[in-house]
Amino acid sequence: LWRTMAWNGRRSRGSLRQVILFLLCVCVWRSGAESLRYSVAEEMERESFVGNIAQDLGLDPSQLAARKARVVCEGDQQLFRLNPSTGVLTATESLDREEICPQSETCKLFFTLFFDNPLELIRGEVEVLDVNDNSPVFPKKEMVLEISEMTSPGSRFPLESARDKDVGSNGLQNYSLGSSSHFSLSFGKGKGGGKYPELVLKTQLDREEQREIDLLLIAVDGGSPPRSGTAQIQIVVLDANDNTPMFSREIYEVSLAENSPPGLLVGRVEARDPDEGSNGKVQYTVTQTLEGSQQLFDLNPDTGEIRVAGKLDFEDTKKHEMIVKATDGGGLYTTCKVLVEVLDVNDNAPEIALTSHTTSIPEDAPPRTVVALFSVRDRDTGDNGRTECTIEGDLPFTLTPTFGNFYELRTNAALDRETTAEYNISIRATDWGPRRLSSRQSLWVQVWDVNDNAPAFSQELYSMWVTENNSPMVRIGSVQASDADAGSNARVQYALERQEGQEQPALSVSSESGDVYVVRSLDYERLRALEVWVRAADGG
């Protein structure tokens, strides 16, 4: 209007100053004298009644039309309209307080009422009243908090506050927390004095008991009826190395045949750790073993499997003992004992050990004469180590058990060197295992001679001839006697037997060879035949 007046008054600078001065005086006077104040609830329908300006100014509606009364709103939007015929002020559209006046406790819209003839300005304001049309809203529908299971009770965890576009009593008033045995709700104060919710840990967390905890946080405004908004809070309990690995058993016992091949699975130890990650990863090691056991078994550090790594021998070691340690990634550990019982397999033949042995005996030894003493041992057990002994062949010997595992080899008949001069005695020891194993021991026994045989002539009567008038010491034949004995007992000496007082015979016998000689010349007419006895004697 001022610009319009200025344009119309170019003709005369003096008249322009007078008009402007007049207008300013009028406007100031009316503004100071009167102002219009209205209030309207937000979210009313468009063209809703705001106020009756004619009535409030004490004017007849016809005056408004005559003076071209009009309303001009501040800002870009014309939110109100004046009906000059009725003097009623209405809203041109539904008003949203939160959109028009965000972040403001009060929301006032200002307008100016213009009159012409004469020019007059009246300032007016409309307060948009809040309606509880907004629920509290959390910035995130889901909140995730990671809390260590070692966190001390009493610890506080700030939460994001909810926002409510409404103000006053319609705005956010309070928070509540769903039922929880571990957490309670408290409030902290921000720098601006506003309060924000906090979770307070009431009791110690245990990840192994509950890995996650779901909570419901509720924000409530003060409207009537009240509106609320919710957010899910997920508590992720972080693991701490607060658990020691635990074996399923304190002692693992297993039986294993001694002929088990390398690589055979003996068994598996298992320790569980309820912690997570490296805190729950278990590694196995052997810490103590009996001497020699370490090389016979192999332990997988990751799986706990124990396998045969060497040759087992029941006769060497019947039981193996190992201490296995299970350690988690945090250094906590526990131990268990592994007992491996080695089962006997019939893999050992009996062993014959000579204690004493007579290599020769006289042929006149009486029956049950002890020839040898020996023991039999089988390193196996049970029937695998039970043995029996026999003599191979039909020999004049027998085996007699004495004490323990000792046996005596005895004669069981009269011996005759002249029949059998030596014996090769084969003794066999056999066990009673499913696959019977045996061993053999050979003994040589020589029968030495006893002078139990007299010499015997090859014939009882020897007939010899000689021509008369023979030369002295003529050999006319020989006698032969043998002796079944040996050595000096079998050496035969010959001699003529003559009776006492008998003259020197005409014959002689060689003591060694048995040759017969005529010692002097004989005369047929005087002696036609003669008879002598020859004696054969051995050296026994």
Span 297-323, mean pLDDT?
A: 93
Q: Is the pLDDT of residue 67 over 50?
A: yes
What confidence category does residue 248 fall into, taking pLDDT thresholds of 50, 70 and 90? very high
Q: Clarify whether residues 303 and 374 are in a common domain.
A: no
Residues 6 or more apart in contact with residue 448 via CB below 8 angstroms: 360, 361, 362, 363, 417
Confidence band of 240 (pLDDT split at 50, 70, 90): confident
Q: Which residues pair with 297 in a beta bridge?
A: 308
**What was the pLDDT predicted at 117?**
86
Higher pLDDT, 290 or 32: 290
The pLDDT confidence band at residue 62, using thresholds 50, 70 and 90, is confident
Q: What is the pLDDT of residue 540?
A: 86
Domain termination residue (choose one: 79, 98, 129): 129
Q: Give the pLDDT band (50/70/90) at residue 8.
A: very low
Mode of pairing for the β-strands spanning 370-377 and 183-189: unpaired
Residue 145 to residues 152, 198, 422, Cα–Cα distance (Å): 15, 12, 102
Q: Could you tell me if 146 and 124 lie in one domain?
A: no
The answer as to whether 20 is a domain residue is: no
- pLDDT, one tens digit per residue, over 379-433 is 888 899 999 999 999 999 999 999 889 999 999 999 999 899 999 999 999 999 8
Structural domain boundaries, residue 172: 142-238
Please report whether residue 14 resides in a domain: no
| pLDDT, position 19 | 35
- Out of 214, 238, 262, pick the residue that ends a domain: 238
Whether residue 171 has pLDDT greater than 90: no
For residue 199, what pLDDT is reported? 94
Residue 153 lies in a domain: yes
- Cα gap 47→66, rounded to integer Å: 23
CA atoms 244, 249, 250, 253: torsion sign:
negative
Residue-level pLDDT at 195: 81
Co-location of 303 and 216 in the same domain: no
Q: Are residues 65 and 147 in the same domain?
A: no
Judgement on whether residues 463 and 434 belong to the same structural domain of the protein: no
CA 519 – CA 503 distance, rounded (Å): 13
- State residue 501's pLDDT score: 66
Are residues 334 and 250 part of one domain? Answer: yes
Please give the pLDDT value at position 31.
41
Any domain includes 193: yes
**Which is higher by pLDDT, 312 or 288?**
312
φ/ψ (deg, to 5) at 27: -60, -45
Record the tokens describing residue 11, joined without a space: 């003709």
Residue 422 within any structural domain of the chain? yes
Asked if the structure places residue 6 within a domain, the reply is no
Q: Is 478 part of any domain?
A: yes
* Res 460: pLDDT: 92
Q: Poorest-confidence range of 10-24, 268-282, 375-389?
A: 10-24
Provide mean pLDDT across the span 470-477.
92
- Strand ranges (DSSP E) for 92-136? 108-115, 120-129
- Which tokens belong to 273? 């750790």
If asked whether residues 325 and 265 sit together in one domain, one would say yes
Q: Which is nearest to 177 in space by CA: 209, 207, 220, 212? A: 220
Alpha-carbon gap, residue 497 to 509, rounded angstroms? 10
Spatial neighbors of 475 by CB under 8 A, at least 6 apart, are: 515, 516, 517
Q: What is the 3-state secondary structure (H, E, C) of 12-34?
A: CHHHHHHHHHHHHHHHHHHHHHC
80 and 104 fall within a common domain: yes
Query: Over pLDDT 70: what percentage of the chain?
Result: 93
Q: Is the pLDDT of residue 32 over 60?
A: no
Q: Considering the domain boundaries, does residue 263 fall inside one?
A: yes
- pLDDT-derived band at 192, boundaries 50, 70, 90: low
Return the pLDDT at 7. 27
Q: Using the predicted structure, report yes or no on whether residue 29 has a pLDDT greater than 50.
A: no
Q: Is the pLDDT of residue 54 over 70?
A: yes
Residues facing 327 on adjacent strands: 283, 333
Domain boundary among 293, 325, 343: 343
Mean pLDDT of the chain: 87
How many structural domains comprise the chain? 5
Residue 299's pLDDT band (cuts 50, 70, 90): very high
Selection from 455, 416, 466, 474 nearest residue 535 by Cα = 455
Whether the predicted pLDDT of 227 surpasses 90: yes
- Please tell me the predicted confidence (pLDDT) of residue 74: 87
Q: Dump pLDDT digits (tens) for 105-119.
A: 889 999 999 998 888
Mark whether 364 and 443 lie in a shared domain.
yes
Mean pLDDT of 197-214: 92
Does 289 lie in the same domain as 227? no
87 in Cβ contact with 53 (< 8 Å): yes
pLDDT of amino acid 18: 37
Q: What is the pLDDT of residue 1?
A: 26
Residue 300 has pLDDT above 90, yes or no: yes
Find the CATH number of the domain harbouring 359: 2.60.40.60
Q: Per-residue pLDDT tens for 84-98?
A: 889 999 998 988 888
